[in-house]
Structure 1
Amino acid sequence: MTRRGQLLGRIEARIVALVRRVLGLGLIAMVLLNVANAAGRYGGLPTLTGADEALVYGMIWIVMLGAILAARSRDHLTIDLLPDHLGTHAAAFVRMLTDAATLAVCAFVAWHSWSFVERIGAIGQTSMGLGIPMVIPHFAITLGFAGMALMAAVLLVADLAALRQPAPRGERA
């Protein structure tokens, strides 16, 4: 690997670590908000207006950003029985098919999600409890699927490069 490739790899690792920390802190903040709201509701204290709504929207953002990381590391829901029992080239080909299908589906959903975000942005729709613009929670879907499509494209290119490499000696192609 070149120095530039190593530098990009280190930068990517730091960004991924930062995103994971932010997602973890967001989840902890959501748990604390939920506990505070429950304590108010069942303990006779004031409840937090819009807390349930904030929890739902926060969870949507955490799931969609986490899905990008899962797609990047291929930790998303897959059945790896076939590629695990194939040779290097055959496994890379199966991964390429999976990457291409993932890219197509995620790009399709991101495109249509963006169309929806544009429509609700145009009418100025806001949430009932907090009054936040509904483009904020809905954009999480657009960003998540666009990010997964991007990761699928990167993995597709990497698998294509792996397919171009000669198979290791003694291994079936």
Structure 2
Amino acid sequence: MRLPFMPSRSLADIGSALLGGACALTMLAMILLTVVDVIGRYLFAAPLPGAGELTELMLVGVVFLGLPLVSLSDGHVTVDLLTERLPAWTRTPLLTLARLVNALVLGVIGWRLLVMGGMLASYGQTSIYLRLPIAPFAYGAAVLCWLASVLLIGMVIFRTQGHRQTDGAPCID
């Protein structure tokens, strides 16, 4: 995937690979944790302590690690009932508007996650069973929201024309 506003192609590829790899490893860990928990619960009547909490926290990681990757590929969910019927010349401005709205919304979500993380940290909030601090997850999610927002703004500034794959899905090349 070529990112025209990144300093070099290899930096963009490395960043995408790191985020994608971290997301994939987190999903794999969730799967393995669930398998061990289910086997322990049903075969040995001994569920894995704290498995539910860990799964919830890893799910936060999967969702927010994937946000920058989804933003880069224009993979956010869209409904094109109306836009399919509009003239072709309207697609680029609409894509630009959608990217700007997404960037704004992700920026606001990141800001609110930062505020929430500060509140959680001030209370010393931890998970119930394992006593893991929750604030770092909120801070990490905020940073990933802002990264996705910055990437969307970069896509607007440096490449306002959207590209579509042969199957109609948006892509960048």
Question: Could you state the TM-score of these two structures normalised by the residue count of structure 2?
Answer: 0.79
Shift of 1:10: 2.3
Matched with 2:151 is 151
Helix, strand or coil at the partner of 1:155: helix
Match of residue 15 from structure 2 = 15
1:85-96 alignment to 2 at 5 Å? 86-87=87-88, 90-96=90-96
Seen in structure 2, the aligned counterparts of structure 1 residues 126 and 14 have a Cα distance that, compared at 3 Å, is same
Larger Rg: 1
Matched residue, 2:114? 114
Aligned-pair Cα RMSD in Å: 2.6
Distance 1:140 1:7, change over 3 A: closer
> Number of aligned pairs?
158
Aligned-residue identity in percent: 21
SS at structure 2 position matched to 1:40: helix
Give the deviation of 1:148 after TM superposition. Answer: 2.2
Unaligned stretches of 5+ in structure 1?
Answer: 164-173
**Native 8 Å contact 1:95 1:159 kept in 2:** no
Pair 6,152 (structure 1): closer, same or farther in 2 beyond 3 Å: closer
Task: Quote the offset at 1:157 in angstroms.
Answer: 0.8
Q: Deviations over 1:14-38 (max 9, x none)?
A: 2212321221122112111111111
Query: Does the Cα contact within 8 Å between 2:5 and 2:158 map onto a contact in 1?
Result: no
User: Counterpart in 2 of 1:53?
Assistant: 53
**Measured at CA, do residues 94 and 133 of structure 1 come closer, stay the same or move farther in structure 2, by a change above 3 Å?**
same
TM-score (norm 1): 0.79
Amino acid in structure 2 at the alignment position of 1:103: A
Structure 2: gaps (5+ residues):
163-173
